[in-house]
C-alpha cells in the first residue's frame, strides 16, 4: 500500500482526531470497509485514492456534488443512474453531504460506482440488474414489506428468516422498502440472493470441461508445487479471487469428496463442471447461494424432506427420490445430529447425485431405475 493511502486510512480511522486509534475505532473501520484486511483490498484502496484523490476533501470524504461530477464524466451514464448510485452510496435518502472512504470503497468493490471510464458499463449493468430485480419483486416507486416478505418466502426462505431481512430492509420504518434501501442492503451483502439468484436460471453445469482447463486450475492452485492439492491451497486460491474466507473454506471442503484433504484431478474436474471453481468469485457465490436457497436450508436438512422436495419440484418417482436422498445422506459422514450438513449436501452436488434441473432430474431418474433393474 502506498504511504499516501496508509496515511489516508489512518486519518479515517481516527474519528475523534486524538491521533490514537482505539480497538473500537479499528473495528468500526473494518466494518465500514475503511481498514483493508487483505492484499486485494489494499490494492483497491490504492486505486481509489490514486484515481479520485482530487475529489476527496481535507476530512477525507467525498461531497455528493463531486460524486455527481465524477459520474457525469462516464460515457453513457444517465442522470437517473447517477442519482440512483449516489443515493445508494448515501445509504437511504441521499441527504448526507459527504461519503467516507469506506463506503465509497464498498460501492466501488460491488461494481456500483465505476473506478474509471473502463468500468462505467459494468456499473450501469449493476444498476440495471438491481432495478430489474427490484421490479421482479413487485416494486414500483417503492416495495411494501409484505411484497418483500412474500418474495423471500418464494425463494424458500423460512418465514422467520424472511421477517428478519424485511425488518432490516425497512430502514426508515415506514413499512416500505425504497430502491435505495433495497440496494443498500444488497451492496452490504445482507440480501445477496435477490441480486444474484433471481437473475439466473439456476444451477446449470458448465458442460464439457477440457482436461487443459482442469490442469490450468490445478497448476494455479498448487502453490507448494508438490503435485498435490490440499483444501487449504484451494481455499487460498478462492480467497485470492475475492471469496470470503468462510465461503472459500466451505467450497474447498465440499470439493474434497472423500474428505482426505487431497483433491484429485477427477474431483477438481467435477468442481469445475458444477461451477464451484471459476475465475470469477461472483459466479461461485451465485452458485452456492442458489443451491443454498433452492435445495438446502434448515427445513430440508431432516430425513424425508429432500425426497419430498425433489418429488414436488421435478415430479420424480417417490422411490427414486428416496434412493437419491439416501445417497446424499451417505456424504454426512461423522455427523451424529441426524440432520444433513451443508458440506455433505454440496459434496453430493459436486458428485452429481443431486438433481438441480429438470434435465438432470430426468437423467438421474433413468440412471437410478436402470441400476435398480440390473440388480
pLDDT by residue (tens digit) across 70-129? 787 777 777 778 877 777 776 544 445 677 666 676 666 666 777 666 667 667 777 777
> What proportions of the chain, in percent to the nearest 5, are helix, strand and coil?
60, 5, 35
Percent share of the chain, pLDDT over 90: 15
Rounded to 5°, the CA angle 157-160-166 comes to 80
Which is higher by pLDDT, 341 or 120?
341
Top-confidence range, 17-31, 234-248, 254-268, 274-288: 254-268
For a pLDDT cut of 70, what percent of the chain falls above it?
Answer: 63
pLDDT of amino acid 322: 93
CA-based Rg of the chain, rounded to a whole angstrom? 23
Helix (H, G, I), strand (E, B) or coil at 220: helix
For the chain, the average pLDDT equals 75
Confidence check: pLDDT of 183 > 50: yes
Query: What is the DSSP-derived secondary structure letter of residue 172?
Result: T
Angle of helix 159-169 relative to helix 145-154, nearest 10 degrees, comes to 140
State pLDDT tens for residues 293-320: 667 766 678 889 889 888 887 889 999 9
The pLDDT value recorded for residue 208 is: 63
On whether the CB atoms of residues 324 and 307 are closer than 8 A, the answer is: yes
**In angstroms, rounded to a whole number, what is the distance separating the alpha carbons of residues 286 and 205?**
13
In order of 195, 240, 316, 319, 328, the CA distances from 325 in angstroms are 30, 35, 12, 10, 5
Residue 11: strand pairing partners:
none
Q: Return the pLDDT at 268.
A: 92
Amino acid at each position: 500500500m502506498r504511504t499516501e493511502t496508509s496515511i489516508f486510512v489512518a486519518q479515517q480511522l481516527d474519528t475523534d482526531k486524538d491521533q490514537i486509534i482505539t480497538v473500537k475505532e479499528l473495528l468500526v473501520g473494518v466494518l465500514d470497509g475503511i481498514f483493508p484486511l487483505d492484499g486485494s483490498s489494499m490494492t483497491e484502496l490504492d486505486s481509489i485514492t490514486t484515481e479520485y484523490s482530487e475529489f476527496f476533501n481535507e476530512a477525507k470524504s467525498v461531497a455528493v456534488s463531486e460524486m455527481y461530477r465524477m459520474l457525469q464524466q462516464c460515457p453513457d451514464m444517465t442522470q437517473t443512474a447517477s442519482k440512483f448510485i449516489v443515493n445508494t452510496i448515501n445509504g437511504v435518502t441521499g441527504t448526507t453531504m459527504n461519503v467516507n472512504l469506506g463506503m465509497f470503497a464498498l460501492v466501488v468493490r460491488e461494481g456500483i460506482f465505476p473506478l474509471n471510464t473502463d468500468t462505467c458499463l459494468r456499473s450501469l449493468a449493476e444498476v440495471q440488474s438491481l432495478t430489474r430485480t427490484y421490479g421482479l419483486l413487485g416494486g414500483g416507486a417503492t416495495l411494501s414489506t409484505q411484497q418483500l416478505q412474500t418474495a423471500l418466502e418464494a425463494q424458500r426462505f423460512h418465514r422467520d428468516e424472511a421477517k428478519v431481512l424485511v425488518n432490516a430492509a425497512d430502514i426508515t420504518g415506514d413499512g416500505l422498502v425504497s430502491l435505495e434501501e433495497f440496494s443498500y442492503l444488497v451492496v452490504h451483502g445482507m440480501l445477496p440472493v435477490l441480486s444474484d439468484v433471481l437473475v439466473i436460471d439456476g444451477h446449470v453445469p458448465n458442460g464439457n470441461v477440457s482436461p487443459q482447463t482442469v490442469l490450468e486450475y490445478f497448476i494455479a492452485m498448487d502453490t507448494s508445487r508438490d503435485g498435490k492439492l490440499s483444501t487449504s491451497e484451494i481455499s487460498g486460491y478462492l480467497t485470492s479471487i475475492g471469496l470470503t474466507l468462510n465461503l472459500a473454506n466451505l467450497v474447498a471442503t465440499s470439493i474434497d469428496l472423500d474428505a482426505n484433504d487431497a483433491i484429485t484431478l477427477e474431483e477438481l474436474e467435477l468442481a469445475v463442471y458444477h461451477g464451484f471453481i471459476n475465475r470469477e468469485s461472483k459466479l461461485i457465490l451465485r452458485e452456492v447461494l442458489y443451491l443454498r436457497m433452492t435445495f438446502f436450508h434448515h427445513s430440508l436438512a431432516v430425513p424425508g424432506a429432500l425426497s419430498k422436495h425433489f418429488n414436488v419440484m421435478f415430479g420424480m418417482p417417490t422411490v427414486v427420490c428416496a434412493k437419491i436422498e439416501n445417497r446424499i445422506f451417505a456424504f454426512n459422514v461423522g455427523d451424529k445430529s441426524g440432520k444433513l450438513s451443508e458440506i455433505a449436501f454440496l459434496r453430493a452436488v459436486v458428485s452429481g447425485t443431486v438433481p438441480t434441473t429438470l434435465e438432470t432430474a430426468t437423467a438421474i431418474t433413468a440412471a437410478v431405475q436402470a441400476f435398480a433393474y440390473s440388480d
